[in-house]
Structure 1
Amino acid sequence: MIDERIAKFLAEHHVLTLATEDEKGPYCCNLFYVYLPQRNWFVATSAADTLHVRQATRNPRVAASVVLETSVVGKVRGLQLRGTMARPEGEERRVARNAYLRRFPFAAVMDLELWIIRPVFFKYTDNRLGFGKKIIWENDTNS
């Protein structure tokens, strides 16, 4: 089960930095996301011809981060994660599309190329709980 503080943090934000890699090296980009805590999915949309999608298609192991931008050390919060990224099919696609459009209704006019990131590791930092306080979650059965 995902710690409710992690799920709450993810619900308060909507952009993640995604890291992918291929034989030429690593790459990162920023994506709008919606997090579904009941399924432990991030849903994002991105075109198949983008570098990060081409890389994730060849190597689905990805990393990502979500961060609260602040210069106040006592308010620092952020999440780093590892997981896999894949295109949803069938019922998963329907669930992912509905969730994404609830969060971003303006996307209804777009051709949505949806992707699901399934985390296997979270490291959540929340300095409000104490300087450098980390909450770790790991589930290697999803990989």
Structure 2
Amino acid sequence: MSSDLEKIDKFLSKHHVLTLATSNEKELSACSLFYVFDKVKNSFVVASSEATTHIQNILKNPFVAGAVVLETKIVGKIEGVQFRGEFLLLEDETLKKLYFKKFPYALAMNPKLWQIKINYFKMTDNTLGFGKKIIWQKS
């Protein structure tokens, strides 16, 4: 894993909620989802019902964007990750186990799990200098 991806993974491992943006031909949607991130598969794992607007959008258009941010008013501490990827029904048992390890109470709800395969990250990290950006794109 490149040092850029290691920095992104380190940031993502400190958080657990992402904001997801979806669209279909006529509608946009944004939502917040609990996540676990797998740095080896470069994927988020999230749980969501097919009845939601964002999943209905995804069933028509699986390409999504989103963000994970540190909420702070201190400019020198601003950090955040923006991402783009493809949203798919999760079939990987290893990723399922990873999600339930982080959120064991979710087992009782028997949620439908999904995978977001990341193809682009942009991280802003003011702790490295004002406006410092780290860009990673899948080759």
TM-score interval (norm. to shorter): over 0.9
Please tell me whether the aligned partners of residues 29 and 54 of structure 2 are also in contact (alpha carbons under 8 angstroms). Answer: yes
Unaligned 5+ residue runs, structure 2? none
Please tell me whether the aligned partners of residues 90 and 96 of structure 2 are also in contact (alpha carbons under 8 angstroms). Answer: no
> Paired residue for 2:33?
31
Q: Distance in 1 between matches of 2:51 and 2:111?
A: 13
Q: Distance in 1 between matches of 2:107 and 2:63?
A: 29
> Paired residue for 1:129?
128
Deviations, residues 92-140 of structure 1 (Å, cap 9, x unaligned): 1x12220111111111101220000011000000000000000000015
> Paired residue for 2:138?
139
Letter in 2 for 1:37: K
TM-score (norm 1): 0.93
TM-score (norm 2): 0.95
Q: Distance in 2 between matches of 1:114 and 1:30?
A: 15
Alignment of 1:7-86 (within 5 A): 7-86=9-88
1:87: Cα distance to partner? 0.0
1:52: Cα distance to partner? 0.4
Q: Distance in 2 between matches of 1:16 and 1:88?
A: 17
Please tell me whether the aligned partners of residues 41 and 118 of structure 1 are also in contact (alpha carbons under 8 angstroms). Answer: yes
Total equivalences in the alignment: 137
1:25: Cα distance to partner? 2.3
Runs of 4+ in 1 over 3 A off after TM superposition: none
Q: Distance in 1 between matches of 2:60 and 2:138?
A: 23
> Paired residue for 1:116?
115
| Structural RMSD (CA) | 1.0
